[in-house]
Amino acid sequence: MMDIDRNAALSLRDLRKSFGPVDIIRGVNLDVIPGERHAIIGPNGAGKSTLFHLVSGQLQASSGKIALEGQDVTYMSPEQIYRRGLSRSFQITNVFPTLSVFENVRCAVQWSRGLRYAWWSLVDRRADITQAVEEVLHQVGLEDRRDVLAGLMTYAEQRALEIGVAIAGGGRVLLLDEPMAGMSRAESEHATELIRRVSCNRTLLMVEHDMSVVFSLADRISVLVYGEVIATGTPEAVRADVRVQEAYLGKDGH
Amino acid sequence: MSSPSTSSGASAYAGLWPWLLFAITLIAAPLLSGTSIPVSALSQAAIAIVFAASYNLLYGQSGLLSFGHAVFMGLGGYATVHALQAIATAQLPVPLPLVPLAGAAFGGIAGLAFGWLSSRRGGTVFAMITMGFSELVVALTSVLLGFFGGDRGRSGDRTSALPVFGIDFAGEQQVYYLIAAWTLVAVVLMYLLTRTPLGRIARALRDNPERLPFVGYDASQVRWRMFTASSIFAGLAGGLYAINYEILTPQALGIETSASVLIMVVLGGASTFAGPILGAVFFTWLRLDVAHRTEAWQLYLGILFVGTVLFAPQGLSSVVQHFRSLAQQGRLALRLPFEFARGIALALLVAGTVLAVEAGWLLSQVKEKGAVLTLFGTSTDVRTAPVWLATALLLAAGAVLWHVASRKALDSDAAASGAVKAKS
């Protein structure tokens, strides 16, 4: 087995995950180059979300290796992985519904700014924290909604907040799990721009079904079919790949 | 650059008036009460406030349902009684106002220890473990006799501590003011805790524990810290309890006391900081005044609890918030007649419920107590129809009036917003 690539932002080696007798991820090898926007596509049930759960620590791998910037994180807890610079968003909006937009982002800013579990200082008094939160709100275009409870916003706004919470901690590697799921065409164009913006100076790994988004955003694409990566390359190369056409693009009619 | 946290002038102090009101109420309560409310009841209410607010650090602020919170109040109380005894035997020069800190310290240490295990998981597992701990400590009270003193408990003498400026705290009023001062300090500290990074992340934990690791936090660590903080204040409440009653029995840390603090918080409303304070006062009133008037007070408590959970999950604080939001939207004057009608409806429902409970209660023991019910200034035989007719009438009238008033209120809102739209 090849060893992990120490120069990659994210390096997966022979990663496997099974639930009982069912193998979901069957030996994934993947290297994400620092600074690139990398998309993972594949038919339903290919294991894309499971792969994200493994990388972010929500699920534990059955075997194989995951390295984040050369550091083995395979058996770390989600918060340990997060603290090493990997943050993620969720396919189903997963924010703090009865907190305001501002507070949602602030919760995500707190740890990386060193506030941790502090009980001796008032967080409202920290102008640097407030400023950092406002910068994130500006980036995701929610500065007008800062005092609205997250659970009361429109779906598209909640998706934007989801991304805001993911980037607020300053993670260098960003995982976005179907950021466009359930969006209208106009909303998803807007969100594409948002993702382009927030992925500057970051490494982006995203799962997305919307092919126009994938081909316009991604520097490279990996195709996951039945728990294996069958092709990795530039959008053009992947589009031209015969196996990909057979397994995915052709059949699904995209 | 403007920032909301540094805005100066009146708005910076606008948040202070509830605190001023709270402080004035604490100070003025014994003066206003006269003979109808004994000072001891006020002390009891103040202790309940600290206890309930400490419980809400878990329940309302962190989303953790504990069935063993009384353990920490009880242990704090026992520790304080022991401190009083030690002060008496060794003639230690400790002023009484500092003695409740023994309770806070011991409650905190116990919380740190128990929290280590119970905080690993949230939700049902957490609730079950706290209940287990509660049973465990109750069992220990009949084993560790040296510390708990068995069924008869442990007692101490608060006057054995050092007098402060000539005040020996022998009188109930003096001890009330000591308790009230600690209550104010504790409530302010607990409020400030909710504004710290830890307090803010606890609310995030309450909202969505699964997301917490993905903003960098270990949910168990947040739970453990909040558990310990809440135990410190519960221990302080126990310390105040100890200097007030000068005796601690195992009942203080039993499951019934744990249940009562949950009821206080739910009645008052867990989602706001002030809710549990209202709930604690309300509960104390129920336990003292209503229990004095009727044997069926726990039945009333049960009805109230179920009614609150079903119809007003935010408890008493939702009433306050309802009127406040009406006032903020400038609709208070418009809505007042309907709110008044709803008030009458509520009074009818309460009267009907009281009649039903009292008549039913008496009917179940006619042999011992006779069948004549004296209520609302009239006497009737509970075995005859008029009582039950009146009950049904009151309840039906209340329900109908409530329904109609609520409907009309919504209609008037719609009409008002329609008028605004037509104008613009």
Q: Which of B256, B248, B301 minimizes the C-alpha distance to B141?
A: B248
- Mean of pLDDT values over A192-220: 94
**What is the rounded average pLDDT of the residues B203-216?**
96
pLDDT at residue B33 above 80? no
Looking at chain B, which residue has its C-alpha nearest residue A149? B207
Q: Which of the four pLDDT bands, split at 50, 70 and 90, describes residue A49?
A: very high
Partner residue opposite B214 with nearest CB, options A82, A116, A131: A82
A122 touches chain B (CB under 8 A): yes
Domain ranges for chain B? 17-315, 329-423
What gap in Å lies between CA A79 and CA A76, rounded to an integer?
Answer: 8
- CA B379 centroid distance within chain: 35
The pLDDT of A208-224, averaged and rounded, is 93
> Closest partner residue to B196 among A77, A104, A120, by Cβ?
A120
The dihedral through the CA atoms of A106, A137, A69, B208 has a sign that is: positive
Q: For residues B46-66, give the mean pLDDT.
A: 98
State the pairing for strand pair A86-88/A37-41: unpaired
Evaluate if residue B13 carries a pLDDT over 80: no
Grade residue B2 by pLDDT with cuts at 50, 70 and 90: very low
Q: Where are the alpha helices (DSSP H) in B63-171?
A: 70-90, 100-118, 123-141, 145-148
Q: What is the mean pLDDT of residues A158-169?
A: 95
Contact (CB<8Å) B197/A121: yes
Instruction: Tell me whether A186 touches chain B (CB under 8 Å).
Output: no
Q: Quick check: A77 and B217 CB within 8 A? A: no
Closest CA of chain A from B261, distance in Å: 24
What is the C-alpha separation between A139 and A145, in angstroms, rounded? 13
Smallest Cβ–Cβ distance between B207 and the set A78, A99, A121 belongs to A99
Rg value, chain B, Cα: 24
Complex ipTM = 0.94
Mean pLDDT of the region A119-147: 95
B214 to A97: CB separation less than 8 angstroms, yes or no: no
Cβ contact A119–B214 (<8 Å): no
Q: Is A93 on the interface with B (CB under 8 A)?
A: no
| Confidence tier at A104 by pLDDT (50, 70, 90) | very high
| Residue in A closest to B191 by C-alpha | A122
Model pLDDT, residue B8: 42
A94 touches B at CB < 8 Å:
yes
Instruction: Inform me whether the pLDDT recorded for B7 exceeds 50.
Output: no
For chain B, the first-to-last Cα distance in angstroms comes to 34
**Helix H or strand E segment including A12:** strand A10-19
Q: Give me B422's structure tokens.
A: 């037509």
Q: What pLDDT is attached to residue B409?
A: 87
Residue with tokens 């406030």: B49
Residue A78 near chain B (CB below 8 Å)? yes
Q: Count A/B contacts: CB-CB distance under 8 Å.
A: 106
pLDDT digits (tens, 9 = 90+) for B69-117: 999 999 999 999 999 999 999 999 999 999 999 999 999 999 999 999 9
B3–A98 C-beta distance less than 8 A: no
Confidence class for position B422, pLDDT limits 50, 70, 90? low
Q: What is the mean pLDDT of the segment spanning B366-388?
A: 83
Average pLDDT in chain B: 91
- pLDDT for position A254: 45
CB-nearest partner of A169 from B5, B203, B215: B215
DSSP H/E element including A96: none
Rounded CA-CA distance B62/B122 in Å is: 10
pLDDT score of B332 more than 70: yes
Residue A14's SS3 state is: strand
Contact between B300 and B294 (Cβ < 8 Å): yes
Q: Is A114 on the interface with B (CB under 8 A)?
A: no
CB distance B221–A122 less than 8 Å? no
Give the closest residue to A198 by CA, choosing from A222, A170, A177, A178: A170
pTM: 0.92
Mean predicted confidence (pLDDT) in B219-226: 98
From B4, B124, B111, select the one nearest B57 (Cα to Cα). B111
Q: Are B118 and B130 in contact (CB under 8 A)?
A: yes
Q: Report residue B413 as tokens.
A: 């809102």
Greatest alpha-carbon span in chain A: 61
Instruction: Using CB atoms, pick whichever of B3, B210, B217 lies closest to residue A127.
Output: B3
Mean pLDDT of A4-14: 94
E strands, A60-141, are 63-68, 71-72, 86-88
Indicate yes or no: CB of B215 within 8 angstroms of CB of A82: yes
pLDDT, tens digit, for every residue of B129-147? 999 999 999 999 999 999 9
Lowest mean per-residue pLDDT among A47-51, B153-157, B221-225, B331-335: B331-335
Shortest alpha-carbon distance between residue B186 and chain A (Å): 15
**Confidence tier at A253 by pLDDT (50, 70, 90):** very low
Q: Determine contact: A111 vs chain B, CB below 8 A.
A: yes
Minimum distance, in Å, between the CA of residue B238 and any CA atom of chain A: 23
% pLDDT > 90, chain A:
86
Closest CA of chain B from A115, distance in Å: 6
Is A111's CB within 8 Å of B3's CB?
no
**CATH number for the segment(s) B17-315:** 1.10.3470
What span, in angstroms and rounded, lies between the C-alpha atoms of B18 and B229?
A: 23
Contacts with A135 from chain B: Cβ below 8 Å: none
Query: Does B192 sit within 8 Å of A106, measured CB to CB?
Result: no
pLDDT category of residue B249 using cuts at 50, 70 and 90 = very high
Residue B4 clears pLDDT 70, i.e. is over it:
no
**Partners of B396 in beta bridges:** none
- Per the CB < 8 Å rule, is B201 touching A117? yes
With CB atoms and an 8 Å threshold, state whether B201 touches A107. Answer: yes
Sign of CA dihedral A32, A38, A43, A47: positive
Min Cα separation A246/chain B (Å):
37
Which residues fall within 8 angstroms of residue A173, CB to CB, at 6 or more apart?
A9, A10, A32, A68, A69, A85, A86, A87, A202, A203, A205
A125 reaches B (C-beta below 8 A): yes
Amino acid in position B125 = V
Residues of A within 8 A of B204 (CB-CB) are 96, 99, 103-104, 107
State the nearest Cα–Cα gap between A200 and chain B, in angstroms.
Answer: 20
Q: At what angle do helices B70-90 and B219-245 cross, to 10 degrees?
A: 50
CA-based nearest residue in chain B for residue A114: B197
Residue B43 pLDDT: 96
Q: How far is A66 from chain B (nearest CA, A)?
A: 17
**Which one of B193, B208, B215 makes the best mutation probe of the A interface by having the most chain A beta carbons within 10 Å?**
B215
Phi-psi sector, A148: left (phi>0), alpha (psi -120 to 50), beta = beta
> Are A106 and B200 inside 8 Å of each other by CB?
yes
Kindly tell me if the per-residue pLDDT of A175 is higher than 60. Answer: yes
Q: Is the pLDDT of residue B35 over 80?
A: no
